[in-house]
Structure 1
Amino acid sequence: MRAVICGAGIAGLALAERLHNVLGWEVVVLEKASGPRTEGHLVDFFGPGDDAAEAMGMLPWLEELRYPVSEAAFLDDHGEPRARLRYDAFARPLGGRLLSIMRPDLELVLRERLSFAVGLRFGVGPARIDQSPHGVRVALTDGSTLDADLLVGADGVHSTVRALVFGDEGRYVRHLGYHTAAFTFDDPKAHAELGDRFCLTDTLGRRMGLYALRDGRVAAFAVHRATDPRLPDDPRAALHHEYGSLGWLVPRELASCPPPARIYYDQVAQAVLRSWSRGRVVLVGDACQAVSLVVAQGASLAVAGAYVLADQLAVARRIEDALAGYERLWRPVVARRQCAARRIARWFVPETPRQQRLRRAALHLAGLPGAGRIAGAGLVGGQRPPLRRLAAVPAMPRMPDMPDITRGEASPLS
């Protein structure tokens, strides 16, 4: 069997690993970007994705690249804390299984674990998709074509595969009323002040977050209210306009903001479709299940969703049955997380002083003894049922041509 996966992000790489290394499929991964993604923000990885990563043997690699965040601190314009929330308040209900990792580092782990037999092609994507009862033909942007038994759209919330097969993006992407950005810069003084904290501004309608990276750089994360889903032509200018009046370290951060090409900037949105597959074409990851950054589980759901899809392809007799089984099992999990994200969006970025006071009070209560269970339950509420009830493929030994960190071969840890 042969699969073409469009998108070399978290979901696409996780699915490629399972299809080739476990099911023995021939796999080609296409990525329209010219190279691996270097921009991105810190993600909290837990829940069903953590279960899938453990079954795939990934956890030791993720542990090596994690960031030991001690707390989230909400600061005023003078850098004084208005509220604090220790990460162990969330980790305890999860049995300590909560890790923070940069999104590009998570993709690096997945990419390095691919067998060398998996074709990984950058700078090319789908231009036309034609289906027959027995397969899919994909015409690519470089003029070549690929034939496959299955085509997977793992190319994000602005999926080209989804647009070509299911229709215009406007029918499926739900803008939640915010824009977000992420970038890195050099500032030794800010790096020392941040330490192992994830520091955020305690502000209305917008939030800027900073955290220190292990290479001495500082990473910035921003989210602000934006009723117009259209993205600005110049994201750097947009950030100066939205955050230029804030205090603390923000003015220095904006002064060090890189050129637009090195800034990740997008709308905060969800993908909502009536069906995730059509014939031999299926969507996975943010292309069909984007929950938005406010719910803190997009990376986890991407890995777990890919795991469930591969599992169904392993046990079903027909590809069409596998795609239907994947959606039947996984859609309820995604729907719950999307609902939670819509419900808490205003708490994430309060718009009124009253909402701001309520958030501070909630953060204070979450830090009290015994309240961590409640806070953690709210964070992971949509992960049930556990992954073991949705998938049956066991963890498999590493393929012989894959990097092995125990033998000192090339890996993200070297």
Structure 2
Amino acid sequence: MRILICGAGIAGLTLAWHLERAGWEVELVERAPAFRDGGYLIDFYGPGHQVAERMGLRPRLLRDRYPVDELSYVGRDGRQTSHLKLTSALENVFSLLRGDLARAIADGVRAPVTYGTTVDSAEQHADGVTVRLADGTTREVDLLVGADGARSRVRELTFGDVVPRYLGHQVAACIVTDPELSRRVGTRYQMLTEPGLMAGAYALRDDRLALLFLRREPDPALPADPAATLRRHFGGLGWILPTVLERVPGPAGLYYDLVTQVEMERWHSGRTVLLGDACQAVSLFAGHGASMAMAAAWVLADELTTAGDAPGHLPGPHETPGGLAGALARYQARMAPAVAEVQGFGRRSIQWLAPSNRWRVLARDLIFRLAALPGGSRLFVNSFSPGGHNLITSRSEVLESVRQD
């Protein structure tokens, strides 16, 4: 069976990894001109971590992880205002660059990836989907998967204009090389918070420094010059910011985007299905996007590969609940409750991760001080982690609900 996956990020690559091992004919297309390395530091745990272990990636991720041993808030003068030592309560939380996780998955994918193009049009018919790419070529496939992010082209073609929920903030991330600052920050994640502004830094290997910026902004329009915007809003805050902001790379090396969530009632239509941020973006505030993307890819692959009686067999869309329509419905039913829970957690976290006034900044610092007490780190982890990964329903339970519907 032939599948075209639009989007070669974490979700698309994970799906390709599983389907090609089940005997499917897989191809990926990616609008970026090349594989996207780098990105910001993520905390990787939960269901995605379990999927990675099933894929045999744990040794690779252990090698690539960064040993974050402390969360620390600083003032404009660089002095620490509050901190939390990280203990064994976080031993299964892997701090990784998003690009390193994607690369670990990609290295196990044999399917071809065509970079610099995306889906231009898709026409469904009884036996499949005729897909025309932006480079002028066409593909005849049995299933089209849109794993192409929060601004998904496949979603637009299939469902029309779905406007992501803007959470009132803009985010930027980049990596700079500075041996002195890298040693100064070290193996602790340092953050400076002012009302409506947050800047974070963590030392990487090879004298590099990962930077993350978060800014409250009611206007969802992206700035024409993101680097200049960062310097204007963060340059006067002190700490290491005046130095690092002069080294912010150009557009190719600077990630800058809106903080959004994508909420949809339906993730599939006929022989087209959405995956990852295209239908379930949880936002930076939830901090669980990569994990949920891998979990969703695994669930979708599980449903597709068990939809037919023989490996690799994809029944027609009207053969429910055992056919394609049933498989896609169960995929959404298994994942949607978890996604909704994590999205809700993300919205509730905004005022703590990006306080809007000084009283909330002080309250946040107090929570950190309480978390530093004996037993407090585990309470902190439980209170500030989404619980949605516990809601991924088993296939047998969802199969029964689909039959009842």
TM-score by length of structure 1 reads: 0.89
Q: Which residue number corresponds to residue 107 of structure 2?
A: 112
Shift of 1:90: 4.7
Deviations 1:361-394 (A, max 9, x none): 11122222122332222344424437694599xx
Q: 3-state SS of the aligned residue for 2:215? A: strand
% same residue: 41
Instruction: Report the residue type matching 1:133 in the other structure.
Output: A
CA distance in 2, matches of 1:157, 1:217: 29
Q: Map Cα deviations across residues 231-276 of structure 1 (whole Å, 9 max, x no partner).
A: 1111111111111211010000111111123210000000011101
Show the counterpart of 1:183: 174
1:8-407 matched pairs, under 5 angstroms:
8-21=8-21, 23-88=22-87, 90-91=89-90, 96-115=91-110, 118-170=111-163, 173-316=164-307, 317-385=322-390, 389=394
Deviates more, 1:230-239 or 1:332-341: 230-239
Structure with greater contact order relative to length (CA < 8 Å, sep ≥ 6) = 1
Question: What SS class does the counterpart of residue 248 from structure 2 fall into?
Answer: coil
Aligned letter for 2:95? S
Partner AA of 2:20 in structure 1: H
Describe the SS at the equivalent of 1:385. Answer: helix
User: Normalising to structure 2: TM-score of the pair?
Assistant: 0.91
Letter in 1 for 2:331: Y
Contact 2:38–2:100 under 8 Å retained in 1: no
Q: What stretches of structure 2 of length at least 5 have no aligned partner?
A: 308-321, 398-405
Query: 1:155–1:287: 8 Å Cα contact kept in structure 2?
Result: yes
Q: Is the 8 A contact 1:89 1:376 kept in 2?
A: no
Do the aligned residues in 2 keep the contact of 1:73 with 1:83 (CA within 8 Å)? yes
Q: Could you say what secondary structure the match of 1:209 adopts?
A: strand
Distance in 2 (alpha carbons) for counterparts of 1:268 and 1:386:
24
CA deviation vs aligned residue, 1:49-81 (integer Å, no higher than 9, x gap): 111111111111111100011111110011111
Asked if structure 2 preserves the Cα contact closer than 8 Å seen for 1:90 and 1:375, the reply is: no
CA RMSD of aligned residues (A): 1.6
Q: Which runs of 4+ in 1 moved over 3 A?
A: 386-392
Give the residue type in structure 2 aligned to 1:240.
R
Secondary structure, aligned partner of 1:351: coil
Q: Is the 8 A contact 2:193 2:354 kept in 1?
A: no
| Segment drifting more, 174-183 vs 187-196 | 187-196
Q: Aligned partners of 2:250, 2:380: CA distance in 1, in Å?
A: 38
Amino acid at match of 1:218: L
Post-superposition shift, 1:357?
1.1
Residue 111 of structure 1 and its aligned partner are, at CA, apart by 0.7
Partner Cα separation in structure 2 for residue 169 and residue 386 of structure 1: 26
Alpha-carbon separation, structure 1, partners of 2:173 and 2:377: 29
For residues 81 and 89 of structure 1, do their structure 2 counterparts lie closer, same or farther at Cα, with a shift above 3 Å needed?
A: farther
Report the CA distance shift for 1:105/1:35 in structure 2 as closer, same or farther (over 3 A). same
Secondary structure of 2:333's counterpart equals helix
Partner Cα distance (2:200, 2:38) in 1: 15
Deviations 1:329-387 (A, max 9, x none): 10000000000101111111001111111111111222221223322223444244376
| SS of 1:294 mapped into structure 2 | coil
- Give the match for residue 411 of structure 1: none
Deviation at residue 167 of structure 1 after TM alignment: 1.0
Counterpart CA distance in 2 for 1:390 and 1:355 is 42
Instruction: Give the gaps of 5 or more residues in structure 1.
Output: 393-414
Report the counterpart of residue 313 of structure 2 in structure 1. none
Rounded to whole Å, the distance in 1 between the matches of 2:34 and 2:302 is: 29
SS of residue paired to 1:215 = coil
Q: Which amino acid aligns with 1:87?
A: L
1:230 is displaced (CA, Å) by 1.1
Residues 90 and 200 of structure 1: is their aligned pair in 2 closer, same or farther, counting only changes over 3 Å?
Answer: farther
SS in 1 for 2:37: coil
Q: Distance in 1 between matches of 2:232 and 2:108?
A: 41
Partner amino acid for 2:303?
Q
Q: What SS does structure 2 have at the residue aligned with 1:246?
A: coil
> What is the DSSP-based 3-state SS (H/G/I as helix, E as strand, rest coil) of the residue aligned with 2:256?
strand
1:89 Cα deviation from its structure 2 partner = 6.6
1:256-312 residue CA offsets vs partner (Å, 9 max, x unmatched): 111123210000000011101111111111111111011111111111110111111
Per-residue CA deviations over 1:149-206 (Å, capped at 9, x if unaligned) read: 1111101111111111111142xx0000000001111211101101111111032211
Distance 1:52 1:368 in 2: 33
